């Protein structure tokens, strides 16, 4: 099939970007979306033009690198699918497909479709872990975990950190990402000791990173390739309130939260 692509091109973070139109003739419906971009890039290189830069790595929907907004939807039209797992059979001959980067102040564009998602790393750094040094762990079966809690923790832990939640949110909020990690660790006995400090510290970092606020549109859940539930956002709100009520005033200090 023949397609037209309208792609966001931006030289670097300092430049202004604009849309360019490219023809994509003879696209095989079994191709993935990224393979289609590979083909276009090969043509661009032959034509002495700069190929379209986009983040990608595993191409099996788990690394979370790919980050394309396809026709106004992060990761494209298929539910629970990353852009690398999106196949061209879902498009029709003659379609014009718009491809944009994630758009959020917290995710500045680096080049073309590549954005800087290091804000997510900084949120995890501020408390998204159990502070256990290597070697100090007790025998694994010492503390049983109810199966439903383990399953629920796994549901939230499935997050791949791609940022589609932020890209989809009308407010560019990072709540689903933060909620997924907060919930995972709050559900498990291993996460209890730092439970209050963790949520206060991670929410503070999230606020400092220029994300918007959650106003409960639930677009994040709809766009999430791992279909993580907004129920975890409610859980984080609960965790946050609980922690704030127990807080003596020092737990919100991020340095204290890990020392």
Partner 1 sequence: MNWQSILSSSIGRKVVMAVSGLALFGFVIIHMLGNLLIFAGPAALNGYAEKLESLGEILWVARIGLMVMVVLHIWSGLCLARENRQARPLGYLGKKNTRTTFAATTMAISGLLVLAYIIFHLLHFTFRVTHPQISHLLDADGRRDVYTLVVLSFHELPIALAYFVSMILLSLHLSHGFSSALQTLGIANESSLHGYEKMGRLIAAVIFLGYSSIPTACWLGIIKASH
Partner 2 sequence: MTLDARVPAGLLHEKWDNHKFNMKLVSPANKRKYKVIVVGTGLAGASAAASLAELGYQVDSFCFQDSPRRAHSIAAQGGINAAKNYPNDGDSIRRLFYDTIKGGDFRAREENVYRLAQISNSIIDQCVAQGVPFAREYSGYLANRSFGGSQVSRTFYARGQTGQQLLLGAYQALARAIHLKQVTMYPRTEMLDLVVVDGAAKGIIVRDLITGQIRRHAADAVVLATGGYGNAFYLSTNAKGCNVTATYRAYKRGAFFANPCYTQIHPTCIPVSGDYQSKLTLMSESLRNDGRIWVPKQKGDKRPPQEIPEAERDYYLERKYPSYGNLAPRDISSRSAKEVCDEGRGVGETGLGVYLDFADAIKRLGESVIRERYSNLIQMYEKITGENPYKVPMRIYPAVHYTMGGLWVDYNLMSNLPGLYVLGEANFSDHGANRLGASALMQGLADGYFILPYTIGDYLARTKPGVISASHPEFLKIETEVKDQINRLLSINGKRTVDDFHRQIGKLLWDYCGMARNELGLKQALAQIPGIRKEFWSNVKVSGSNESLNQSLEKAGRVADFIDFAELLCLDALQRAESCGGHFRTESQTSEGEAKRDDTKFCYVSAWEYQGADCSPRLNQEPLSFENVHLAERSYK
Chain residues binding partner 1 by CB under 8 A are 6, 19, 69, 71-73, 98, 100, 103-106, 170-173, 200, 203-204, 206-207, 210-219, 221-223, 229-241, 244-245, 247-249, 252
Exactly one of 71, 108, 124, 195 binds partner 2 (CB under 8 A); which one? 124
- The token pair at 234 is 């409610």
**Residue 74, Cβ density class (10 Å: 0-12 exposed, 13-18 middle, ≥19 buried):** buried
Tell me which of 105, 146, 250, 253 binds partner 2, using CB under 8 A. 146
Complex with partner 2: residue 56 or 100, whichever CB lies closer: 56
Smallest gap from Cβ 106 to partner 2, in A, equals 14
Which of partner 2, partner 1, none is residue 59 near (CB under 5 to 8 Å by kind)?
partner 2
By the 8 A CB rule, do 119 and 106 touch? yes
Compute the CA torsion angle 71, 76, 77, 81 (nearest 10 deg): 180
Binding mask 239-258 for partner 2 (x = CB under 8 A): ---------------x---x
How many Å separate Cα 103 from the centre of its chain?
Answer: 12
Q: How many CB atoms lie within 10 A of CB 15?
A: 11
Q: Is 47 helix (H, G, I), strand (E, B) or coil?
A: coil
**94's tokens:** 């003659």
Q: Least distance in Å: CB of 126 to partner 1?
A: 13
């Amino acid at each position: 099939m023949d397609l037209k692509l309208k792609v966001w091109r931006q030289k670097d973070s300092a430049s202004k970007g604009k849309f360019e139109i490219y023809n994509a003739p003879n696209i095989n419906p079994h191709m993935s979306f990224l393979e289609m971009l590979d083909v276009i890039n090969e043509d661009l290189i032959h034509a002495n033009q700069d190929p379209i830069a986009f983040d990608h790595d595993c191409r099996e929907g788990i690394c979370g690198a790919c980050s394309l907004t396809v026709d106004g939807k992060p990761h494209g039209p298929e539910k629970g699918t990353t852009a690398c797992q999106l196949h061209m059979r879902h498009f029709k001959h003659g379609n014009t497909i718009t491809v944009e980067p994630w758009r959020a102040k917290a995710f500045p564009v680096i080049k073309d479709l590549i954005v800087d998602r290091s804000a997510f790393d900084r949120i995890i750094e501020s408390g998204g872990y159990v502070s256990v040094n290597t070697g100090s762990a007790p025998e694994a079966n010492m503390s049983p975990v109810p199966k439903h809690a383990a399953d629920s923790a796994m549901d939230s832990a499935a997050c791949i950190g791609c940022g589609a939640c932020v890209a989809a949110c009308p407010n560019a909020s990072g709540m689903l990402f933060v909620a997924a990690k907060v919930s995972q660790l709050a559900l498990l006995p291993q996460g209890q000791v730092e439970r209050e400090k963790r949520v206060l510290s991670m929410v503070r970092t999230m606020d400092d990173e220029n994300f918007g606020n959650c106003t409960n549109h639930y677009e994040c859940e709809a766009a999430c390739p791992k279909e993580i539930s907004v129920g975890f956002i409610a859980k984080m709100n609960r965790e946050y309130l609980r922690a704030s009520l127990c807080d003596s005033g020092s737990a919100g200090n991020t340095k204290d939260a890990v020392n």
